[in-house]
Amino acid sequence: MSKSGLTSSESGSEERSEVERHYLEDDKPFQLVVRSKPRRVVFFRAKPITAYEPTPAQIRARIAFGMAARRARGKRILPGQLPPAAIAVREEMSGRSFGGEPRKPKWLKILELLAESLK
């Protein structure tokens, strides 16, 4: 036990302080959410932590989107349609996956931990 009365596994203070640091340093730590279905609802919520520290898959997706948008630059807009640049980005991004490995189910993680502890 530490001086705070928590064991090292219970404390998690480093992780919490990292999360708190983002919210304390941000001048706009909230988002305005507007939902219209099934009825109009408007509320504030805290920004998700991935707004401050995106996952590797989000970083890859953002880079790919930026590259697709840059290649689509300069195309002319036709009346009544999506802008040609938006169509080009949509076609280039459709079907692409940026995620890493799928998450293991919790029960499988626990079994693996038990197996390791028995060794």
Task: Read off the pTM.
Answer: 0.51
Q: Domains of the chain: which residue ranges?
A: 1-53, 54-119
Distance CA 25, CA 53 (A): 14
What residue spans of 1-119 are helical by DSSP H? 8-11, 13-25, 56-71, 84-93, 106-118
For residue 101, which phi and psi values (nearest 5 degrees)? -75, 145
The predicted-structure confidence for 42-93, as pLDDT tens digits, reads as follows 999 888 888 888 888 889 999 999 998 888 888 777 777 788 888 888 888 8
Q: Which whole number is the average pLDDT over 11-26?
A: 63
- What mean pLDDT is predicted for residues 83-110? 82
**Angle (nearest 5°) at CA 14 between 11 and 20:** 110
